[in-house]
A and B are shown apart, each in its own frame.
Chain A
Amino acid sequence: MAASSAITTVSKQTDDGRAVDLERYHAQMEAELATARIMQLETLPKAEQLQILQKNFGINITAWFEPSDQISGDIWGVWNLSPTKMAVYLLDFSTHGVTAALNTLSFNMMVRRRDKLMFDPAEYLKFLNNQLCPVLLPEQFATALYGIIDIESHTFTYAAGASTQPLVLSLGAQEIIVGERSGLPLGISSNASYVNRSLPFSPGMALFLYSDAMSEGRREDETLIGDAGVIGLVKSASVNAGEEFDASKVLEMFFEIAVRPLKDDLTVVCLVRPTDGHPTDGAAS
Chain B
Amino acid sequence: MEYRCVANGDAIEVFLSGHLVMEVNSQFRVINTEINGQDGESIVLDLTSVEFIDSAGLGLLLEIKANADKKGRAVSMRVSEGGQVATMLEVAHFGGVIAIIQ
Contacts and interface: CB of A to CB of B under 8 A. Distances in A.
Interface in B56-102: 56, 58-60, 62-63, 65-66, 69, 90-93, 96-97
B91 A94 contact: no
Nearest to A226: B84
B89 to A, nearest CB: 10
Interface stretch (A30-38, A40-48, A139-147, A169-177): A139-147
Contacts of A185: 55, 58, 92
Nearest to A163: B91
A139 B93 contact: no
Contact of A224 (B22, B52, B56, B59): B52
Contact of B59 (A94, A212, A264): A94
Range of interface residues on chain A?
Answer: 20 to 34
Nearest to B61: A139
Q: Which among A137, A139, A192, A212 has the highest number of chain B CB atoms within 10 Å?
A: A139
Main SS of the interface on chain A?
A: loop
Nearest to B90: A182
B41 to A, nearest CB: 20
Contact of A162 (B60, B65, B93): B93
A138 B97 contact: no
Nearest to A189: B97
Given A162-B92, A263-B22, A138 B56 contact: no
A273 interface: no
B97 A139 contact: no
A123 interface: no
Contacts of B65: 138
Contacts of A183: 92-93
Interface string A69-111: 0000000000000000000000010111000000000000000
A120 interface: no
A216 interface: yes
A92 B22 CA distance: 14
Nearest to A137: B66
A182 B55 contact: no
Given A143-B55, A212-B54, A224-B52, A182 B63 contact: no
A139 B59 CA distance: 5
Contact of B66 (A96, A138, A212): A138
Given A94-B58, A96-B22, A139 B66 contact: yes
Contacts of B90: 182
A162 B63 contact: no
A141 B52 CA distance: 19
Interface in A108-164: 137-141, 143, 162
Contact of B55 (A137, A184, A212): A212
Contacts of B60: 139
Nearest to A180: B91
A139 B21 CA distance: 14
B92 A95 contact: no
Interface of B: 21-22, 52, 54-56, 58-60, 62-63, 65-66, 69, 90-93, 96-97
8 contacts: A94-B55, A94-B59, A138-B62, A138-B65, A162-B55, A182-B91, A184-B97, A212-B55
Interface of A: 92, 94-96, 137-141, 143, 162, 181-185, 188-189, 192, 212, 216, 224, 263-264
